[in-house]
Every structure is written in structure tokens, then in C-alpha cells.
Amino acid sequence: MSYKDIFETEKRGMFSPPNGASPQMIPDYWRPAPGEEVRTDLPELSDAELNALGWKGPIADVAFDFYTQEKVWNTQTREWDILELDQFNKEKRVNYQKFWDELINTSAYATIKASASQSLLANTLATEFIALLTDAKNGRANVTKIQEELLEIIQNIPFTPEELEEIENVLSESGMLAVYTLS
């Protein structure tokens, strides 16, 4: 679909058409009903004039937590509904690669490495955790085992309060905190 001035149309925001469908940019061509004449003036109409024709908008975007919630358009209310994800979908949204990329740049990771070089237990825990994360990054997350290893690492490696906060932040930013706990 072409737009007369796509940048101006885009700036106006999204509108829900009269049938309640998901918000969209105002179209250049619109047929109100089958057999009716095509309208080409929608982009020139004011918001109030569009609303009078049944177009609801502009529709404000809503904030939501991608890792625990889903934004769904409600055709009845013509507003966004925020729905809580079930556990299965929370697990599917975890970004293990982001977790790993951020973890290796923390002082907590340096502590894990230092502990692994001095303790067989810490070395074993780190190795198992890295293997489990590798599987998870490849789409084969063993949630139960990752949780067990994470708790073992927290209990057996001497982290400072700041390092524990780093770990919690990395878990949060990657969506892992929606699935895993540190206690």
C-alpha cells in the first residue's frame, strides 16, 4: 500500500479501524463497506474526524515485560490487554545468549573463574553450568538442571553482595529471572 506522505502518516500514530482490528497506520485507500465508494482522504482528516468515522486512535503503545507478559489487541474494547504468560511460554522467551554475553563481563564471572581454578567443586559446577547453558542457547534448555546448578553455584562460590546483584541483574535482563531463582 502506498502512502501520500508516509512519514507524516506514521507520526500520527496507529488507529484501530471501525471493525476493531489491530491498530494500523491510516490507509490512503479505504472502503467503509462493500459496495461503498473508496475514500482517499483519511490521511488528511483530523483525529476527531477519523474517530467520528469509527477509527479509534491514536492508540498509545503500552509497556509490558516481554519475558513474563504478552500484549494482545482486544477487538471488543479496542485496547491492549496485558496477559501473564504461562510457565511454558516464559521458559521459551528466556534469552540464554544474552545472559551468557552479559555474565562474562561481570566481576561475578571473574569470581567463578578464580574459584574454579582453586576448587574442584567450583570447577565442576562451572563446567556443568556452562554445558547446560550451551544446550539452552541451542534450544535445549533443561530448566530443572539449570536451576539446580545455579543454586549450587550461589551456595558454593563466595560472591560479594555486589556480585550477587550483578548476577540478579543479568538474570533479569535476559528473562531468566522469570523462570529461575537465586534462593
Identity of residue 20: G
Alpha-carbon span 88 to 50, nearest angstrom:
41
Cell numbers for 167, please give them. Answer: 548476577
28 Cα distance to chain centroid: 32
Cell numbers for 64, please give them. Answer: 509490558
pLDDT number for residue 7? 81
Is there a contact between 145 and 125 (Cβ–Cβ < 8 Å)? no
Summarize pLDDT for 157-183 with one digit per residue, the tens.
Answer: 999 999 999 999 999 999 999 999 999
With cut-offs at 50, 70 and 90, classify the pLDDT of residue 2. Answer: very low
Percentages of the chain per state (helix, strand, coil), in multiples of 5: 50, 10, 40
pLDDT number for residue 144? 98
The stretch 116-125 carries a mean pLDDT of 97
Asked if residue 4 has pLDDT above 70, the reply is no
Asked if residue 5 has pLDDT above 90, the reply is no
Closest to 137 in 3D by CA, of 164, 101, 112, 162: 101
Is there a contact between 123 and 117 (Cβ–Cβ < 8 Å)? yes
Least confident of 42-46, 63-67, 119-123, 173-177: 42-46
Helix, coil or strand: residue 81: strand
Greater confidence (29 vs 7) lies with 29
With cut-offs at 50, 70 and 90, classify the pLDDT of residue 9. Answer: confident
Least confident of 40-44, 75-79, 147-151: 40-44
